[in-house]
Structure 1
């Protein structure tokens, strides 16, 4: 609905301003064809849609590749944590003669010992819990990276679209200024007007030309930024789609949006999972302080005798009781809790700002689709009537035209702001808005 309303009002603004330019019939047909700069030719440029830009950026993003690898690494940790034991059994072999110097005899001695260090059950459970939570952290961070990339590309695209639309307005303004100057010069030559209106039109042409050149630079810069983000050569010639995707004119109240942020924001979800993993790491560090048991079985053959021995090895935690690891894990637990609070505050600030920008843009759109257009239409009639009666001069015509172009620029800026702020809120709520 908003896009249809935008297009209809946009065309009406153009009709109003063009009528102002030819008010009173002071522009001849011949003058309209002289020295007019051509608008940007878009037909030869491929159209890059916003969804295509997002898809291309996602397929080539090194950041996403890095996070996908992080997920695979975490999955490997989960596999390792589920092994029956981290330790492989050890085998030692012994062989050699046994000399009996008293009896002046010798015998062959042979021995095999098998030992296996066993993890305590509580250690295995804690280690698997840490690995599973680490896997969930990496998954949440990957999702956060996807949304962050999509937000960046959509913001770049919005700026690209806006700069192209403003470039069209700048070209249109220069065209109108050129036509006005040509027509006024003709009237000055026949003595119909003084030199003052001609000078005013010349100043307007210089200003509009400078604005057009500046806007060309901004359009090129925004296009290059978007193309680099999607992995395309910055010099590639593309144009945006005709209109930005529609954004709703009504959103939930701010408290509801904050609730969605807490429930679904991937950054907060990753932070909460990281906090839970730090709790599990404390439990793992405390479990690691307990010694493992190492059962062993030994077989020996000494001459004609066969000897089988079973034993159990237990380390004595006299010096290293895992104090340092426990201390670090407890500090990490405090750190992750503080980081989660910090990220929640940052997100709250971002949501507050985006919500305020959204409402401001919505009010601007409502203003420019209502009262402002009606005022421009009334002003058009007054300017036309005054010019025909000889009561309105060129200055009033130029001001009316400038007001119309400024209104259209503000309208386009509000469209871009509405879309960008909506995308930011969507990103903050994990796409649940």
Structure 2
């Protein structure tokens, strides 16, 4: 049976199994929208739509995209040549003895400084693009997780509503039996306590559902809750791809590409700092006029700093250390991804087996116990307390099923972080963009 029918069928099931004379109208605390499955008509928000909305309007993703524009401007600036400098010098104040000099100076960069700057700017632009890829991957996983958080909260609210419906009918049935003198008034008190507890559970479940919807909507910059109905993706329990297949794609993950681009960026910085050790040449061309003798002279000169003290040795040492650090971080990222991938893959496989066991063995058994208990209650073989216990066990089993189903979806969402662009789609028909 699908989760939808487990969750929404509780009230209908109990209404069918209780004697007709014992049924009373339930009074739910708040009407809840029905759960819709993917592909059904209605305004239910699907996972694909949630991810598309986040990609289109997430503020953090826009900020990461603007880093590329920033890097493009830095690349443009890195390629420009130094501006020439014009100077005017007057020596003396008396007209007959003063001299005037006009000079044009141009710095000629030596040691490949300009090409090193361009290489660094190119690497920073590539790194910004790599950061955007990682941001998109993380956002997809985070939205998927938030979607299933909200979906689980939605299912818990539906289950709490069904539980309240059952408890309300049970309380009405107990009240009628007490009035007829068939059972002790203690049974009515027990039913009333169960009804009050179900009402409290429903209020809490609805509150958690609203909070989860608000968190989901925040991923596309909306301060109001997301649409209150979420579509449930079909669950076929197909196994996830083998761990070896994920590990073969590990080097193509955006996280690994970003780590390698960071190494390239630091190596390019080493090139810049090494080029700075070569002093630049300043070419000077001008004209000097002597008012006393009325003659002008051409001025030619070359200016070169003497690298006696500052040879950029400290900056070069720092950039070399940063390059080694980036290389170490690349190796650490590879190890971290392998460890997290193995753990996530194991969680996905375990959750798959748990869901299968719950669907095929535990839930049907709990349903049979509940059915037989109600039948025995009608025949006078069981007391009403036995019916309440069977009901509590059934609802508890369905709650446990929701939890393991949520863990399955959550593990698959985390596993999506380790699926490169050519990894294909994960099971459960979660065809995310």
TM-score above 0.5: yes
Partner of 1:26: 19
Distance 1:42 1:389, change over 3 A: closer
TM-score by length of 1: 0.83
Secondary structure, counterpart of 1:255 in structure 2: helix
Structure 2 counterpart of 1:356, from 323, 339, 346: 346
Partner of 2:154: 164
TM-score by length of 2: 0.83
What's the Cα RMSD here? 3.2
Partner of 1:269: 257
CA contact (8 A) 1:20 1:397 kept: no
Partner of 1:88: 83
Partner of 1:53: 50
- Cα offset, 1:176, TM superposition: 0.6
Deviation string, structure 1 residues 189-238 (Cα, Å, up to 9, x no partner): 2222233433432332232222112212211221222233332233x573
Equivalents in 2 of 1:111, 1:132: separation in Å? Answer: 42
- Cα offset, 1:389, TM superposition: 4.1
- Cα offset, 1:12, TM superposition: 6.1
- Cα offset, 1:90, TM superposition: 2.0
Moved more, 189-198 or 157-166: 189-198
Partner of 1:320: 310
Deviation string, structure 1 residues 343-391 (Cα, Å, up to 9, x no partner): 4444344434432332232112211221234424543553355335432
Equivalents in 2 of 1:381, 1:230: separation in Å? Answer: 46
Moved more, 73-82 or 107-116: 107-116
Equivalents in 2 of 1:331, 1:106: separation in Å? Answer: 61
2:54 matched to 1:65? no
CA contact (8 A) 1:20 1:400 kept: no
Structure 2 counterpart of 1:36, from 27, 50, 56: 27
Equivalents in 1 of 2:99, 2:375: separation in Å? Answer: 124
Partner of 1:102: none
Partner of 2:115: 125
Structure 2 counterpart of 1:146, from 121, 136, 143: 136
Structure 2 counterpart of 1:295, from 260, 283, 304: 283
Moved more, 271-280 or 329-338: 329-338
Question: Number of residues paired by the alignment?
Answer: 414
Deviation string, structure 1 residues 383-402 (Cα, Å, up to 9, x no partner): 35533543233233223322
Structure 1 unaligned segments of length 5 or more: list them: 100-104
2:358 matched to 1:365? no
CA contact (8 A) 2:283 2:301 kept: yes
Equivalents in 2 of 1:112, 1:260: separation in Å? Answer: 65
Deviation string, structure 1 residues 270-313 (Cα, Å, up to 9, x no partner): 22211121122122212210111223333445557564454432
Distance 1:65 1:377, change over 3 A: closer
- Cα offset, 1:333, TM superposition: 1.7
Partner of 2:74: 77
- Cα offset, 1:178, TM superposition: 1.2
Secondary structure, counterpart of 1:382 in structure 2: helix
Equivalents in 1 of 2:237, 2:102: separation in Å? Answer: 77
Distance 1:242 1:57, change over 3 A: closer
CA contact (8 A) 2:45 2:231 kept: no
Partner of 1:253: 242
CA contact (8 A) 1:247 1:418 kept: no
Secondary structure, counterpart of 1:369 in structure 2: helix
CA contact (8 A) 2:24 2:172 kept: no
CA contact (8 A) 2:8 2:162 kept: no
- Cα offset, 1:321, TM superposition: 0.7
Deviation string, structure 1 residues 101-155 (Cα, Å, up to 9, x no partner): xxxx958865443221111252222221111111111111122222323332322
Structure 2 unaligned segments of length 5 or more: list them: 35-41, 424-433
CA contact (8 A) 2:29 2:199 kept: no
Structure 2 counterpart of 1:185, from 175, 196, 218: 175
Partner of 2:390: 400
Equivalents in 2 of 1:15, 1:222: separation in Å? Answer: 24
Equivalents in 1 of 2:93, 2:131: separation in Å? Answer: 64
**For residues 367-386 of structure 1, what are the structure 2 equivalents within 5 Å?**
367-380=357-370, 382-386=372-376
- Cα offset, 1:322, TM superposition: 0.6
